[in-house]
Amino acid sequence: MSKGQFVIGVDYGSDSVRSVIVNALNGEEIASSVYEYPRWRDGLFCEPPQNQFRQHPQDYIDGLEATIKDCIAQAGADVAAFIKGLSVDTTGSTPVAVDGSGTPLALTPGFETNPNAMFVLWKDHTSVKEAAQINEHATKFDTNYLKYVGGIYSSEWFWAKLLHVLRVDETVRNAAASWVEHCDWIPFLLTGGTDVKAIKRGRCSAGHKALWAEEFDGLPPDDFFSSLDPLLKGFTDKLYKDTHTADEAAGTISTEWAQRLGLPTDVVVGTGAFDAHMGAVGGQIEPYHLSKVMGTSTCDILVAPTAAMKDTLVRGICGQVNGSVIPGMVGLEAGQSAFGDTYAWFRNLISWPVNQLLSQSKIIDATTAKALKAEMAELVIPELSRQAALLPVDEANELAMDWFNGRRTPDANQELKGAISGLSLGSDAPRVFRALAEATCFGAKSIVDRFISEGIPVKGIIGIGGVAKKSPFVMQMMADVLGMPIRIHQFKHTCALGAAMFAAVVAGIYPTIEEAMAAMGRGFDEEYYPNINLKEVYSNRYEQYKTLGEFVAGQVAKTKAEEFQNI
């Protein structure tokens, strides 16, 4: 392999997209660029009190073009001429209604500002009712169509979102020729696709979120869906039967997109997958090591040899799919619906006076007020972390539940709520922040415990993502709570690096993803070891956490039962 072979990895996160150009010889980052979605940043098309979170496809297109062109400008023409492959990961399940040409409806006349014609972000929970109906409906069939998604279907996933949109928006229902995941649409866009039936659907998204399984010879039968709601009758015919792993090519970049981005016309585009799955590869995942991508939420990935899994089914996780991470291995997914989002919620809560009242100040001008707000936003979490780290770990401390956006794993339930208990007049901001951080670590422990109780060993933890890189306080606490060391991958944009590794495979630079990982992996730059002196107190605190969780879950169930009786 010559030194002049480069690949691009594109990683679509919840708030922004980042692209990297990587030397396929050794994994060295040549250039990187990040683009924040402007419509998302401004809160357009979202209604947080209703758990509605939508993203406009134009943000994705603009970000794709801006970041890749910026990377090429940094790297220079000599590098651009030798770019061989490009692969993409995205959040998920983040699907959209498309027309017959595969174009998201929000990019077509009449739908430009319709949230139901946009991508339904993973964290959108407007379809809680539909998810509950899918779970109840599945019990009526001899075949357990939920067996490979942990036995519980979530409102964060493909079918629940689809059914909700079809029910609430007749115009979208009538115009939708299909329903496509974000990670499948971007490769289709880049390869110049014009027929929705030609979209190559990724094994990752189909298996973990849309009930696709080899055992079912594809998706569940039409009868499963049409008997749930007649609106779904025949919809499987608008979707797919076959899926493709991320080491397969989606096609070659179109002439139009090669010109728009400044790339060679022979760049091979890979089949897409979810961010955490490619991030696990970028983070050099090993069998039975849990890769935790820690950002706004967490997505936890574990791989196990297919032969070793046999008939093992893990309850209450987000799916187990052969080849969803590494071909030849079963990928198992879990996660927490709110992680960094929990800290951001508290930051926004305590920053409310600054954000709302500084603009009314008669002491400083508007420009200074704006700059001060931005400065405070950057300083709050690091300072809270420093102060919280000084507090003693005590069983009488404030206690919190991390279900601020429901619970993803174990046993998905998006109706659950966050909680804080043990408050007193001495409960200041650092103490409450510590309780919230502790809750997110206890949530992580509940995932590890579920894998172990289901017969899947967890031999180590790999930390990836913004929180893992930026918060030694949280990472040390997590190591203490789990009683396990945590290795932090040194690459800043690890998910994008994983995408670049897959790009190297689809371009033919490496024959397998394992060989790409070995050559391009960048290693670890930090490791946190548990403090054995805190083992007992955290064990007792974890029991308190579980007791509080049972109470909160019981209260939510009681409220829902009362609402049902009053209908």
The 10s digit of each residue's pLDDT in 339-382 is 999 999 999 999 999 888 888 888 999 899 899 999 999 999 99
How confident is the model over 526-551, as a mean pLDDT? 98
Per-residue model confidence (pLDDT) at position 137: 98
Per-residue model confidence (pLDDT) at position 173: 98
CATH of 340-489+531-566, one of 3.30.1300.10, 3.40.720.10, 1.10.357.10, 3.30.420.40: 3.30.420.40
Say if residues 242 and 217 touch (Cβ distance below 8 Å): no
Per-residue model confidence (pLDDT) at position 153: 97
> How high is the mean pLDDT of the chain?
96
Lookup result for tokens 């401004």: 42
Identify the helix (H) or strand (E) that includes residue 119: strand 119-120
How confident is the model over 270-281, as a mean pLDDT? 97
Lookup result for tokens 């659950």: 416
Selection from 209, 337, 224 nearest residue 274 by Cα: 209
Share of the chain above pLDDT 90, in %: 93
Work out whether the CA dihedral 202, 207, 211, 217 comes out positive or negative.
positive
Backbone angles phi, psi at 427, to 5 degrees: -80, 95
* Confidence tier at 2 by pLDDT (50, 70, 90): very low
Whether 256 shows a pLDDT value over 90: the answer reads: yes
Q: What are the tokens at 336?
A: 């927490």
Residue spans of the domains in the chain: they are: 6-283+491-526, 340-489+531-566
Per-residue model confidence (pLDDT) at position 3: 59
Q: What are the tokens at 461?
A: 């933890």
The 10s digit of each residue's pLDDT in 192-242 is 999 999 999 999 999 999 999 999 999 999 999 999 999 999 999 999 999
CA distance 51 to 74: 39
How confident is the model over 514-528, as a mean pLDDT? 96
The 10s digit of each residue's pLDDT in 310-351 is 889 999 999 999 999 999 999 999 999 999 999 999 999 999
Name 251's bridge partners: 269
Whether 4 shows a pLDDT value over 80: the answer reads: no
How confident is the model over 525-552, as a mean pLDDT? 97
The CATH superfamily of 6-283+491-526 is ATPase, nucleotide binding domain (3.30.420.40)
CA distance 445 to 281: 22
The 10s digit of each residue's pLDDT in 450-491 is 999 999 999 999 999 889 999 999 999 999 999 999 999 999
* Confidence tier at 560 by pLDDT (50, 70, 90): confident
Whether 84 shows a pLDDT value over 70: the answer reads: yes
* Confidence tier at 567 by pLDDT (50, 70, 90): low
Per-residue model confidence (pLDDT) at position 111: 98
- Fold match flag (6-283+491-526 vs 340-489+531-566): yes
DSSP string, 338-383: -SHHHHHHHHHHHTHHHHHHGGG-SSS-HHHHHHHHHHHHHHHHHH
Say if residues 58 and 65 touch (Cβ distance below 8 Å): no
Report how far Cα 26 is from the mean position of its chain's Cα atoms.
27
pTM, two decimal places: 0.93
* Confidence tier at 564 by pLDDT (50, 70, 90): low
DSSP string, 193-219: ---GGGPPPBHHHHHHHS--BGGGTBS
507 C-beta neighbours (distance < 10 Å), count: 23
Per-residue model confidence (pLDDT) at position 1: 39
CA distance 32 to 19: 6
CA within 13 Å, CB half, 283: 37
DSSP string, 394-428: -TTS-EEE--BTBB-SSS-BTT---EEES--TT--
How confident is the model over 522-531, as a mean pLDDT? 95
Q: What are the tokens at 289?
A: 């090591």
CA distance 488 to 332: 20
Identify the helix (H) or strand (E) that includes residue 486: strand 486-489
How confident is the model over 418-429, as a mean pLDDT? 98
Whether 54 shows a pLDDT value over 90: the answer reads: yes
